[in-house]
Structure 1
Amino acid sequence: MLSDNTAVLFLNNSRKPMDDVNFRKAVAWAINADDIVTRVFENQVIKSNPLGFLPIDAWMKYYDEQVVEQYGFKYDPSVSKKVLADAGYKDINGDGFVEAPDGSKIELSIIVPFGWTDWMESIKIIANNLKAVGINAKAEFPDYSRYQDELYGGRFDMAINNFNSNLSNTVWSYYYWLFWDIREQQTQGNYGKYNNPKAFELMQAFDRTPVDDYETGQKIMSELEELFLKEIPYVPLWFNGMWFQASTDVWTNWPSEHGPHYYPCTWNGKWQLGGIFMLTALEAK
């Protein structure tokens, strides 16, 4: 499937131990996104890169490979365990799960809406990944209204979401969603209440930069990418698909790898991304 948005694991930065950058890094290194892509989605979607940038030119032209190489993460449980140990997270009582540096127990939940079966299976894998490195986490499936209430109100530990990470003509829209300013109700993004004025400042600077001033934009974006990977407020997981099927019983010339290359969808505002052109290209069988 075409990549339509980024599914992100939001960590509640206002709760312990998610307020600890080392704990967040350990979580990032512990998750096997390839397993999710293969077992849950049967390879119909693509694993996200460490930044969560959708694989389109308008975004990837700002993807700084050197920054990702130096500060990025990948699935490696041994690194996750080392990060935890070096930060003082140890299994004190011998139950197989680490306690916080102050000796307090860690019991976390990961939430997605009940009935969203692909996400439900995904967080089961994530919970098992975290348990494998000593983090006590469980998958929970509240009904949608409770999920939304806990997500917007910051009353969760970890949650998967993709509501405003959609394909657009600028990667700024993605960072606006991730770093939206903190309010009582986080209805537009930044559900984990990541609080870093520098990130917001860089995001605004990029917004003020003319689209044809690529050099300035790249410099700002590289700095923002470095900040994101050093802090790991959230963990990009996979590129959620633009679910699309078509029948050739009546109409032909649907978008394909051979052309035409229009966006093959008309729902959720996608008329503006080629849906109308797709319809004009259809031919009666």
Structure 2
Amino acid sequence: MRFVFGLVLMVGLALASFAVYMAQGYISQTQTALEKERDARKKLGPMVEVFVTNKALNYGAPLTKDDVRKIMWPANALPDTIFKEEDVLFSDPSKPRYVLRQMEKFEPVLAVKVTEPGVEAGLRLASGMRAFAIKVDVASGVSGFLQPGDRVDVYWTGTGSGGETTRLIEKTIPIIAIDQTANADVATSAMIARTVTVEVLPQQVARLAQAQATGRLSLSLVGRNDDTEADAAPVDTRILIGEPDKVVEIEEEPACIIRTRRGAEVVESTPCTN
């Protein structure tokens, strides 16, 4: 009996030691995980609740409460125009906001991506500016790679005093729509447009309208980060093929002479002074 009792005691002590060892390992792992979480929270900083979309939203779609949800977002990485309060995002339930740019699921809702309450998506012109449509084709429209938000130089080709000439008439004007869409995110590949709508001043509208009526307009795409302005001189056929300038000879007019007939005789007098 003593032998059995001693054996049971030894087995019990072994199991107890193993349980203590396992508990220490679990506690150590838990403490390590907690320390890592604390370090991560320190790096993230304070968190705030913000609105994100809970599904993909296309351009022009109305934004409703069912389309958004709140998640925690690091306060030190918060965009300036993000919505944090429901009464700001949905200030008037009878006047919904509309999507200006395509948004994916869980994308933050920013003021630059939605309209003001009650304002539908469409052309949004700055104060004092006008929209003007330019007819284009595959050649004049940069092979269909233009998108809303791009900037272009406009060239006019027509007949002038020296023959057919091409000249730069407008510099770095912004495109606000292609055909009938102002969404900059819909074009995933080249699209052959028929019209390109630009935002210009009223005096530029008159220049473009006259140029479009008297010749052909071509667009030249300006790089997104290009701050330079083109300063191209007019080019005609003579300059293009390198033909030398023509020398125009001016014939001198004969001096004014007064002729007086006296019977059958003609007498020439001093030339006119005027």
> Shorter-normalised TM-score: what interval?
under 0.3
Relative contact order (C-alpha < 8 Å, sep 6+): which is higher? 1
Give the structure-2-normalised TM-score: 0.19
From the two aligned structures, give the one with the greater helix fraction: 1
Give the structure-1-normalised TM-score: 0.18
Q: Which has the larger radius of gyration?
A: 2
From the two aligned structures, give the one with the greater strand fraction: 2
